Amino acid sequence: MHLLLELELVSVRLINNRIYLDYNATSPLAKSVYDWFTKGDLPFGNPSSIHSSGKKSKRLINESTDYLKAFFNLKHFDIFFHSGATEGINDIFKGFAFKCLSEKKKFHIVCLATDHSCIINQKEHIELMGGEFHVLEISKSGEVNTEEVIKYINELSGEILINCTLVNNETGVIWPLDEIVNLKAKTNCLVHVDAVQMIGRLPLPYVLSKDIDFYTFSGHKFGAMKGVGFTFVKDGLDNWTSLIRGGGQQMAMRSGTENVHGIYSLKLALVEFEESFNYESLLNSKQFLENSLVERFGEKIRIISKDAKFRNANTIYLIIDGAKTDILITACDMAGIDLSSGSACSSGAIKPSRVLMSMGYSEACAKSSIRLSLPYQYDLEQIKIVSSKLIEIFSRFIK
C-alpha cells in the first residue's frame, strides 16, 4: 500500500498530503486564516483613508493590536507591524545605531554566536555606522551562561543593545525569560528578545515581562501569513528611533501602508492556536520520538543539546554519524516527510550549520545533522506512526 494512503488510514495529521516536521522553518496557514481568505469578504481600503472602506481596514489593524497586547500582557507597550522578524530586528538594531550616531554616542551591539542570521549578518552595517559588534561564544550544550554575559556587558562603555534569543530555532534550547530580565536588571543595557520561536514551543500563557525593551515575532511560525511580523517597543523608550521613514504610519515607527490582511491573520491564527494548543501532548510526543530513536540506534545518533536544562517542546536536532544531510532529507522527502537541516536557507542549498559549528561541532558533524520540528497539534498516537516511519528510513543509513 502507498505510504501516504497507509498513514491516512491510521490518521496521522497530514498537511497537503505530507507529514510536515519543519515547523521551525515555517507553519501552514491556520484554518481560521484560510477560511477568512476563502470566504472572500476582505477589506481593501487604505487604513489611512478616512472613508468607510479605509476605516474598515483600520478597524482590523486595531483589533489585532488590542488582541496582541492583551495576549502577551503588554498593554503599555507600543507595537509596530513589519514584514517579519528579519525586518523588525534590522529596524531595532539600526534604529538604535542611528539614534546613537545622531547623538554622537559610542555604541555596541552584543549577540550570541547561535543567534539567527538576521542578527549575526548585521555586523558589517553596524561597524560601517561606527558601532562595535560583539558575537559571544557559546558552549557545546547551546546554553547561555547569563552571568558571563552580564560580566562581559558590564566591562563595555557606551550605549549597549543586546539580542537575547528566547528559543533557538536550530537546537530548541531556551534562554529563560527570568534570566534575561535579571540580565536587564544587572546591566541596564537595552534588551531585545527574539521571540520568533516561542509560540507553539513553550507552555501557555505567554505573559511577557514589562522590564524588557523590545520583543519581535514572525507570523508564519504560528499559522499567520508569511511576510508579516510585529515588534513590541517599551512605551516611552527614547533611545531608539525608527529606521523606515515615509508617510508616518504606525506612529512613525514603521512607515508604509500596512499589510492589513497579514496583520489581521496574526489575530486569527493566535485565537485558533490558543484554543487548540496542548503543550503536554506535544512534549510527550517529542519525548516519545526522541526515546524511540535513542532506543533503536543508541550512540549511533547524537541528540544535540539533549542535556540542556531548558529545551522547547517541539525540536529534535540529530547528528547521524556517517550519513549525509542532503541524502537523509531526500530519503525522507521521498517517503512523504518534510524535515530540514537547521535554519532555512534562501538559496535552498544545504550548507553545514553555522550554529552547530559555533557550538564546537566539526563541519563533518554539521553535514550529518537533521532537524525535526513538530507541529503544535501532535499527540502520542500520531507520533508513534511517524516514529516508526523515521526509524525505518534512518535504518537504511545507520549500520
Pick one of 85, 199, 244, 289: the residue that binds ligand PLP (CB under 6 A).
85
Q: Which residues have CB under 8 Å from 247's CB, separation 6+? A: 48, 255, 256, 257
Pick one of 32, 57, 86, 163: the residue that binds ligand PLP (CB under 6 A).
86
**Residue 95 beta carbon to ligand PLP: minimum distance, rounded to whole angstroms:** 16
> Per rule CB under 6 A, is residue 269 in the interface with ligand PLP?
no
Nearer to ligand PLP, 118 or 339 (CB): 118
DSSP string, 266-278: HHHHHHHHHHH--
Nearer to ligand PLP, 92 or 118 (CB): 118
Nearer to ligand PLP, 266 or 293 (CB): 266
Pick one of 12, 21, 30, 118: the residue that binds ligand PLP (CB under 6 A).
118
Pick one of 116, 184, 311, 367: the residue that binds ligand PLP (CB under 6 A).
116
> Per rule CB under 6 A, is residue 194 in the interface with ligand PLP?
yes
> Per rule CB under 6 A, is residue 352 in the interface with ligand PLP?
no
**Residue 86 beta carbon to ligand PLP: minimum distance, rounded to whole angstroms:** 3
**Residue 344 beta carbon to ligand PLP: minimum distance, rounded to whole angstroms:** 6
Most distant CA pair in the chain, distance: 70
> Per rule CB under 6 A, is residue 92 in the interface with ligand PLP?
no
Q: Return d(Cα 123, Cα 130) in angstroms, integer.
A: 11
Stretch touching ligand PLP by CB under 6 A, among 35-43, 83-91, 94-102, 309-317:
83-91
Distances (CA, A) of 92 to 72, 127, 253: 20, 15, 10
Q: Return d(Cα 166, Cα 196) in angstroms, integer.
A: 8
DSSP string, 88-129: HHHHHHHHHHHHHHHTT--EEEEEETTS-HHHHTTHHHHHHT
Binding residues for ligand PLP, how many (CB under 6 A)?
Answer: 12
Please state, as a whole number, how many other Cβ atoms lie within 10 Å of the Cβ of residue 218.
28
The rounded Cα 223 to chain-centroid distance in angstroms is: 13
Residues found near ligand PLP in the complex (CB under 6 A): 84-86, 116, 118, 165, 169, 194, 196-197, 218, 220
